[in-house]
Amino acid sequence: MEHIFKTDARDEVGHVMISYQWDNQNLMKRIKDRLRAEGYNVWMDIEQMGGSTLSAMADAVENAVAIVVCMTQNYKDSPNCRTEAEYAFQCRKKIVPIKVRSDYHPDGWLGAILGTKFYFQFLGEDVFESSLQAMMKELGTRGKVTNGVRTKRGTKTRITEKMVNATSVSGAGSGDVTSSSTNSARMWTKENVEKWIAENDLNRSKLEKITSGEQLLYLKELRREAPEFFHHYLETYFQLVDLTDMMTFTKSLEQLY
């Protein structure tokens, strides 16, 4: 694995991570080289990552200030790429999508994560330079060492098995909280969640899988960042298909902080 950022001053600079599937490695290496030439701190995995290197992937995502996602059908079908992209989304990293095939439009989980984000088209040599310049404008100073000034890395969060699971929600929070209305939901336990469900007259049987306030806040964020995926998740995972149930749950979520 090639850790591009492991050089002198760049050790303290958050990096731009390149997330891709192996069929597009040559193009992504070219983009990586150009970004480095412009002063960006770039992380790109050159060797395939399996389960034993999951921790390295987690570190790469956590220390990234932006993640360039090369979206293709093979990327969408790859379990490793999905784990990488979903963890980046969960960590609320800035995602910069690029399109390398004119016949592919992101759908499914990838489409849900990308939402309406603007993507940059690398569809041929004639548009490579203009697309690269536009992408660098979007990145701005993220991951870039300017006049020797270092950018501090973001606070790390550790990956867990629940984060890797493609269908799981963020892990449970902790804390001794006795009220579901006067404390931040981030500290709620399962008991607090049950009180919140009862207070808001929600369907207890369908929401019993939610065991922490942290999970509720993640669903709230998911609604804002990927609304289509959010509603699909409510229908398939919680069986919330009744309009009234869905509306009440969504409105209750918005009151949390």
- Please write the tens of the pLDDT for every residue from 67-90: 999 999 999 999 989 999 999 999
Q: Is residue 148 part of a domain?
A: no
Q: Is residue 47 part of a domain?
A: yes
Q: What is the CATH number of the domain that holds 122?
A: 3.40.50.10140
- CA–CA dist 71, 80 (Å, integer): 14
Q: Is residue 131 part of a domain?
A: yes
pTM score, two decimals? Answer: 0.53
**Residue 93 contacts residue 61 (beta carbons within 8 Å):** yes
Note whether 113 and 18 are same-domain residues. Answer: yes
Average pLDDT over residues 139-145: 87
- How far is CA 30 from each of CA 74, 128, 173, 176, 254, rounded to the nearest angstrom? 20, 10, 42, 52, 43
Listed residues 123, 139, 155: the one ending a domain: 139
Note whether 116 and 216 are same-domain residues. Answer: no
How would residue 13 be classed by pLDDT, with cut points 50, 70 and 90? low
**Residue 202 contacts residue 252 (beta carbons within 8 Å):** yes
Strand order in the sheet with 15-19: 42-44, 15-19, 64-71, 95-99, 120-121
Hey, what amino acid is at 34? R
H or E element in which residue 244 lies: helix 243-254
The encoded tokens of residue 132 equal 């690269």
Q: Is residue 154 part of a domain?
A: no
- CA–CA dist 244, 249 (Å, integer): 8
Note whether 125 and 220 are same-domain residues. Answer: no
Domain that holds residue 209: 167-254
Q: Is residue 151 part of a domain?
A: no
- 50 versus 188: the higher-pLDDT residue is 188
Per-residue pLDDT tens over the stretch 53-71: 678 888 899 999 999 999 9
